[in-house]
């Protein structure tokens, strides 16, 4: 009796097959994936916690009372302390890394950063990247240079921070994935 061969399992989007029956998550996109005009909504969203707010203030040595003194905030028209803008920016940028620059070999620029609305402990942030440009590097042809506008939103969909980020990505991500195990 002839045995029926099993067909290979389909590989879902966002994964690659590393051997029969074993998948690995894809981290980072390559140059050909990041085409100008592409918009990526990053998930999961992140709620800003009191612990990370206080910890970042301590690590940065930021003693501005608008971030730590509720009475100061009340007397200057703020109902609550404001989350440090650098924490807001870093949370939003961090959400973009897995997809856009998960295999980067370096950041090149962070430009035109603007904080648009205050962020408070307990706010939930989400991020969106829009690819503005992508090209092969002249000095490192195995790399691409990508510029994205990164926008961060609160739970009400209000823009809280925006800016552009330029970074390297592999021109051929599979070469990097094979060499590094990613």
DSSP string for residues in 20-74: TTEEEE--S--GGG--TT-EEEEEEEEEPPHHHHHHHHHHHT---GGGT-HHHHH
Q: Which residue has the higher pLDDT, 11 or 130?
A: 130
pLDDT tens sequence across 68-121 = 999 999 999 999 999 999 999 999 999 999 999 999 999 999 999 999 999 999
Helix (H, G, I), strand (E, B) or coil at 111: strand
Contact assessment for residue 90 and residue 48, using Cβ atoms and an 8 Å cutoff: no
pLDDT for res 124: 98
pLDDT for res 2: 58
* Nearest by Cα to 84 from 115, 112, 109: 115
Cα Rg, the chain, nearest whole Å = 21
Burial of 172 (0-12, 13-18, 19+ CB in 10 A): middle
pLDDT tens sequence across 41-56 = 999 999 999 999 999 9
Residue 134 has pLDDT above 70, yes or no: yes
- The residues that bridge with 114 in the sheet, in sequence order, are 162
- Predicted TM-score (pTM) of this structure: 0.89
- CB neighbours (10 Å) of residue 151? 20
Q: What is the mean pLDDT of the chain?
A: 93
Average pLDDT for 145-171? 98
């Amino acid at each position: 009796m002839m045995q029926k061969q099993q067909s290979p399992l389909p590989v879902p989007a966002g994964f690659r097959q590393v051997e029969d029956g074993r998948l690995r998550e894809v981290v980072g996109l390559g140059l050909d994936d990041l085409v100008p005009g592409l918009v990526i909504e990053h998930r999961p969203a992140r709620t800003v916690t009191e612990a990370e707010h206080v910890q970042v203030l301590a690590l940065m040595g930021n003693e501005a009372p608008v971030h730590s003194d509720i009475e100061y905030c009340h007397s200057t028209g703020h109902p609550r302390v404001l989350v440090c803008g650098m924490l807001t920016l870093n949370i939003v940028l961090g959400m973009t890394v897995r997809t856009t620059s998960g295999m980067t070999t370096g950041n090149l620029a962070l430009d035109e950063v603007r904080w648009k609305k205050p962020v408070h402990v307990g706010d939930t942030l989400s991020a969106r990247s829009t690819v503005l440009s992508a090209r092969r590097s002249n000095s490192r042809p195995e790399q691409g240079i990508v510029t994205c506008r990164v926008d961060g939103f609160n739970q009400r969909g209000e823009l809280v921070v925006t800016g552009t980020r330029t970074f390297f990505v592999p021109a051929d991500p599979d070469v990097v994935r094979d060499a590094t195990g990613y």
